[in-house]
């Protein structure tokens, strides 16, 4: 192995040790490690993965939109973002990150913040983004994003910019999208992997029309994510109408305001959908 590959392996090992799941705000203690994540680190990663291609081994680089994964665990992720055109919207993504421009050209970043405190899982259509500042990030320079409050809009002028990012674990389950023109929210996307799969499975079971056991329903109703609890109610209204009243009674005092509102509005749901 080359010195750069050694560096890549050592840094990943250090991150694995420091950023365990549940690290929370301790993420910021990885600043010292991130300061070492430079072009030598990237070269080490390149060498390591090239050897995997050459040796026909399992290749652990994935592409998600314009990013390549360098390493992903439950506690953190390292990625390489390829910046050219900005995306269609502005996104408040609930993950902190430290980012370094590792390309050859500067990148321009517009930094926005919401005009009020937002609770990640409570949608507020009246919130608006406010432009805070515009930053020119020169090659080698770094900046940080607070996943609770910062919306960073990256742009490269001409040539593609490359940005190395160290991401924290999620600090929320929902990504908010904002309109570029009005700076108003235009929807949220569920990020949490397991809850996405839970709701997909519930939609599948509903489409299948095969009744499910009480333990599965219990898992859904006691989910920490409000969208899973709500999907459970929708599923049992189709598959087990006799259990709907009980579920609605239980969710009347749900901690999430959207569930409480929906329960109030859908007091007639069981009788309408029963027997479907």
Positions that interact with other proteins (CB under 8 A) = 2, 4-5, 39, 42-43, 46-47, 49-51, 53-54, 59-63, 68, 72-74, 80, 82, 88-89, 102-104, 160, 162, 177, 186-189, 193-194, 196-198, 200-201, 203-210, 212-213, 216
| CA 57 – CA 6 distance, rounded (Å) | 19
| CA 33 – CA 13 distance, rounded (Å) | 11
Burial state string for 143-179 with b = 16 or more CB within 10 A and e = fewer than 16? bebebbebbbbbebeeeebbbbbbbbbbbbbbbbbbe
Burial state string for 232-258 with b = 16 or more CB within 10 A and e = fewer than 16? bbbbbbbbbbebbeebbeebeebebee
The interaxial angle of helices 214-221 and 193-208, nearest 10 deg, is 140
| CA 198 – CA 258 distance, rounded (Å) | 19
Which are the contacts of 197, defined by CB distance < 8 A and separation ≥ 6?
none
> Is the CB of 133 or the CB of 213 nearer to other proteins?
213
Residues 132 and 152 sit within 8 Å (Cβ to Cβ): no
- Min dist CB 149 to other proteins, Å, is 20
Here the tokens at position 63 are 């592409």
> Is the CB of 208 or the CB of 267 nearer to other proteins?
208
| CA 67 – CA 80 distance, rounded (Å) | 5
> Is the CB of 209 or the CB of 275 nearer to other proteins?
209
Here the tokens at position 2 are 């080359």
> Is the CB of 5 or the CB of 245 nearer to other proteins?
5
> Is the CB of 186 or the CB of 245 nearer to other proteins?
186
> Is the CB of 61 or the CB of 132 nearer to other proteins?
61
Which residue is associated with the tokens 């040796």? 55
> Is the CB of 14 or the CB of 38 nearer to other proteins?
38
- Min dist CB 253 to other proteins, Å, is 26
- Min dist CB 22 to other proteins, Å, is 14
- Min dist CB 133 to other proteins, Å, is 25
């Amino acid at each position: 192995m080359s010195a750069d590959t050694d560096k890549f392996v050592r840094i990943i090992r250090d991150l694995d040790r420091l950023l365990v799941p549940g690290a929370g705000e301790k993420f910021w203690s990885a600043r010292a490690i991130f300061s070492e994540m430079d072009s030598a680190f990237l070269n080490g990663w390149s060498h390591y993965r090239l050897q995997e291609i050459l040796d026909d081994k399992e290749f652990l680089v994935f592409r998600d939109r314009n990013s390549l994964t360098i390493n992903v665990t439950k506690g953190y992720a390292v990625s390489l973002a390829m910046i050219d055109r900005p995306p269609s919207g502005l996104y408040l993504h609930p993950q902190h990150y430290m980012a370094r421009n590792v390309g050859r050209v500067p990148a321009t970043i517009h930094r926005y913040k919401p005009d009020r405190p937002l609770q990640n899982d409570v949608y507020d259509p009246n919130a608006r983004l406010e432009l805070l500042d515009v930053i020119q990030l020169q090659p080698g320079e770094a900046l940080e994003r607070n996943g609770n409050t910062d919306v960073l809009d990256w742009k490269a002028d001409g040539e593609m910019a490359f940005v190395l990012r160290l991401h924290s674990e999620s600090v929320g389950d929902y990504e908010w999208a904002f309109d570029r023109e009005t700076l108003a929210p235009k929807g949220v996307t569920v990020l949490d992997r397991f809850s996405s799969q839970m709701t997909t499975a519930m939609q599948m079971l509903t489409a299948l029309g095969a009744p499910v056991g009480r333990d599965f329903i219990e898992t859904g109703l006691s989910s920490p994510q409000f969208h899973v609890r709500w999907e459970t109610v929708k599923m049992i209204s189709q598959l087990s109408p006799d259990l709907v009243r009980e579920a609605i009674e239980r969710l009347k005092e749900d901690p999430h305001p959207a569930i409480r509102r929906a329960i109030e509005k859908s007091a007639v749901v069981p009788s309408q959908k029963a027997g479907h």
